[in-house]
Amino acid sequence: MSQKPIAFVIGGNRGIGLAIAQSLQKAGHDVVVTYRTGSAPAGFKSVQMDVTSTESVDAGFASIEEQWGMPEIIVANAGITKDGLVMRMSDEDFESVIDANLTGAFRVARRATKGLLKLKRGRLIFVGSVVGALGSAGQVNYSSSKSGLVGMARSFARELGSRGITANVIAPGFVETDMTATLDEKRRNEIAASVPLGRFCSAEEIADVVTFVASPQASYISGALIPVDGGLGMGH
């Protein structure tokens, strides 16, 4: 069993999730990441998990608890996009994104609660998005899923707070990713110009905020929507 606090990063095999896993590991946590397909990143404990399946979520947690102990920091980062104009968005396009991004986060947090209640402490950290508050043309499904995380986290915060468990949402803005790297320079400049700080966010900047929220210094922060968006969503 691990002697360090265990941090469980769902969707921690690449991008923002991998940066979060690396930051938490650097801060001294024993980090376990999930992967759905392919292989896990080197240097981390890992379990295979599909957040759209309750059975898969339950099996993933059972594997962690059996091998290393109960995770006390849960980062729900798994998510998908299926962008499209609303008139052309199918029920499946909408429902599949909600299932992965919102219901998937619920499945993870619900299962995590069993262990956190026994520990009488813990952190539930949901990775949302600035579009959860602002909305985004062509992303009715994605924006709805990220908006829903706020109500979910605040409900968990109220229900579990007396047991020493906090729940918060981190809301990134435009982030440097493999996808944004393929944009042409004109479009990148247009996006950056819409951000008061005039640039994209790095995955590491998001990861550092997650690591702070997971730390003892953030023990009195709960039910918060914490923007990491360069001022893009201010006022919401």
pLDDT over 80 at 176, yes or no: yes
Gap between the Cα atoms of 175 and 182, Å rounded: 13
Mark whether 35 is an active-site residue.
no
Position 134 scores a pLDDT of 86
Q: Which of 34-43, 133-142, 204-213 is predicted with the least confidence, judged by mean pLDDT?
A: 34-43
Helix (H, G, I), strand (E, B) or coil at 234: coil
Gap between the Cα atoms of 86 and 72, Å rounded: 39
The angle that helices 104-119 and 54-67 make with each other, rounded to 10 degrees, is 30
Domain ranges of the chain: 6-175+202-228
CATH of 6-175+202-228, one of 3.40.50.450, 3.20.20.70, 3.30.1240.10, 3.40.50.720: 3.40.50.720
Q: Taking the C-alpha atoms of 68, 157, 51 and 134 in order, what is their torsion angle to the nearest 10 degrees?
A: -140
Q: Model confidence over 68-105: pLDDT tens digits?
A: 999 999 999 988 889 999 999 999 999 999 999 999 99
Average pLDDT value for residue range 19-32 = 97
Position 179 scores a pLDDT of 62
Given 142, 156, 174, 200, the catalytic residue: 142
Q: What percentage of residues in the chain have a pLDDT greater than 90?
A: 75
Average pLDDT value for residue range 146-168 = 98
Q: Model confidence over 44-69: pLDDT tens digits?
A: 999 999 999 999 999 999 999 999 99
Residues sharing a CB contact under 8 Å with residue 24, sequence separation 6 or more, in sequence order: 7, 9, 31, 73, 75, 207, 210, 211, 214
Gap between the Cα atoms of 68 and 4, Å rounded: 10
